[in-house]
Amino acid sequence: LHGDVRALARAISVVEEQRPGALELLRGVFGRTGTATVIGLTGPPGSGKSSLCDRLVEGYRGEGRRVGVVAVDPSSAFSGGAILGDRIRMLRHAQDENVFIRSMATRGHLGGLAQATNDVVDLIDAAGFDPVLVETVGVGQDEIEVVRTADVVAVVLVPGMGDDIQAIKAGILEIADLFVINKADLPGADKLEAELRYMLDLGAATARPRPAILRTVAVRGEGLDAVREGARAFLGSAGRERRAARRRERAEARLRAVLSERALRWVVARTLGGDGWDGVVEQIAARKVDPYSAADKLIERLEVQ
Ligand SMILES: Nc1nc2c(ncn2[C@@H]2O[C@H](COP(=O)(O)OP(=O)(O)O)[C@@H](O)[C@H]2O)c(=O)[nH]1
Ligand SMILES: [Mg+2]
């Protein structure tokens, strides 16, 4: 709570690894959270999200703010390379006590990746960092879930994707409050912007503030002031109500996740004990029982008690 980055790093490890004391920590800081603006950056791998984060950190530092970054990158589960890349790209902030960068493991979180990320964001928020940038690859439902309820969501695209825009349309384009066309130094930015505008025109009926379309060249630091300004503008007049709605949504999602996980554990403990679980799983795998009947049977056992 005093902003000690080493204490923060330790707290995050305790929570991520679900070591003893994790819940006490989260309960203890919760009343001190909700201050930080959470800025989500999502988009295809290689679109320049980490490079943009790095430049945004620089910009927010220039405003005198303490900045947190959470990098969620599933490819790291296979290679480790992506996380290393993020670290190297942001290494120049490593000596800055007012910048806190954390890479998240993307698998093996009880209650899901989005909830684990929310817990980590809470800790960084409680330590006084604001804003907190959350970078995630915009592929897969889990990853979209991570940023969907951020206070402002920037979707990062790059020129030359051609018809790919159709392919990624499902899911991430809908959650954009802001489009960032990064790598605007490459040919095709005009075409991409035209496609985006066309798409937004088609969906114009949906009553929400129309996402701005901005261009950046992250590697040269161009256009980043406009991104910060765009985020600020969104969070201002038009975004205030949506921000409150998002926060309610995030709160509900968190309650659901925690309750589901606990209810599941409670049911299993009361009906199967320690090792009955695997047996039921085997039966389903062997097609001896369907998962619906298996679940019903467990609930029935509860009712009998
Ligand atoms: N030409 C060009 N390359 C860029 C730009 N921004 C990032 N890159 C490069 O694109 C690659 C992927 O960037 P990275 O930030 O790791 O993308 P991420 O996977 O979305 O986090 C790196 O080699 C960057 O140097 C840009 O504006 N223009
Ligand atoms: Mg990255």
CA of 75 to the centre of ligand 2 (A): 10
pTM of the model: 0.88
| Residue 150 DSSP one-character state | S
* Contacts (Cβ under 8 Å, ≥6 apart) of 299: 267
Calculate how far, in angstroms, residue 124's C-alpha sits from the geometric centre of ligand 2: 19
The CB of 209 under 6 Å from ligand 1? The reply is no
Q: Which of 90, 115, 85 is nearest to 100 (CA)?
A: 90
CA of 50 to the centre of ligand 2 (A): 4
Q: Is the CB of 81 under 6 A from ligand 1?
A: no
Tell which residue, 63, 72, 150, has the closest CA to residue 98. 63
Task: Give the mutation target among 41, 49, 50, 51 for probing the ligand 1 site: most ligand atoms within 8 A of CB.
Answer: 51
Kind and range of the H or E run holding 304: helix 291-304
Of the candidates 151, 250, 153, 159, the one whose C-alpha atom is nearest the C-alpha of residue 196 is 159
* Alpha-carbon gap, residue 133 to 147, rounded angstroms: 10
Distance 79 CA to ligand 1 centre (A): 18
Using alpha carbons, list the distances in angstroms from residue 270 to 71, 129, 162, 277, 283.
38, 42, 54, 11, 19
Which residues, including other chains, have CB under 8 Å from residue 14's CB and lie 6 or more apart?
21, 22, 25
Cα(116) to centroid(ligand 1), Å = 27
Does ligand 1 come within 6 angstroms of the Cβ of 221?
A: no
Contacts of 184 (CB under 8 A, 6+ apart): 159, 215, 216, 217, 222, 223
Closest CA to 68 of 101, 103, 21, 111: 101
Per-residue pLDDT of the chain (305 residues; tens, 9 = 90+): 999 999 999 999 999 888 999 999 999 999 999 999 999 999 888 899 999 999 999 999 999 999 999 998 655 444 344 455 555 556 677 778 899 998 887 777 777 788 889 999 999 999 999 999 999 887 777 778 888 889 999 999 999 865 566 656 566 778 889 999 999 999 999 999 998 888 888 776 565 678 999 999 999 999 999 999 999 999 886 667 878 888 898 899 889 988 998 999 899 999 987 678 999 999 999 999 999 999 999 999 988 76
Q: Which ligand is nearest to the CA of 45?
A: 1
Q: Is 217 in the pocket of ligand 1 (CB under 6 A)?
A: yes
- Contacts (Cβ under 8 Å, ≥6 apart) of 157: 43, 44, 47, 165, 168, 179, 180, 181, 182, 192, 196
Type of residue numbered 9? A
Q: How far apart are CA 181 and CA 100, in angstroms?
A: 26
Sole residue written with tokens 């901005």: 214
- Which ligand does the CA of 103 lie closest to? 2
- Using CA positions, which residue lies closest to atom 28 of ligand 1? 183
